[in-house]
Amino acid sequence: MIIVPEKHATLEQRKENAKYIEPTADHQLTLVSCWPRNDNSHRIIVIAKPAAGMITAQKP
């Protein structure tokens, strides 16, 4: 879980934050939401990865 600034973030920081929503080479689920609930000044990013042995081959 990562919390990054959004509302007052510089362009550089926003570009850095964007890396969390780019495609990845590994299997993962990335959830992004506003934080805190009533202010919206940051983003909370939660990254989930499969447990060992849980990835199955994809069918064509």
pLDDT in tens, 28-56: 999 999 999 888 899 999 999 999 877 66
- pLDDT at residue 58, rounded to an integer: 62
Task: Locate 52 and state its tokens.
Answer: 């060992």
- CB burial class (10 A; 0-12, 13-18, 19+) of residue 43? buried
Residue indicated by tokens 């499969």: 50
The DSSP letter of residue 59 is: P
Question: How many whole angstroms separate alpha carbon 36 and alpha carbon 57?
Answer: 38
**How many other C-beta atoms lie within 10 A of the C-beta of residue 45?**
17
- In the chain, the percentage of residues whose pLDDT exceeds 90 is 75
pTM: 0.75
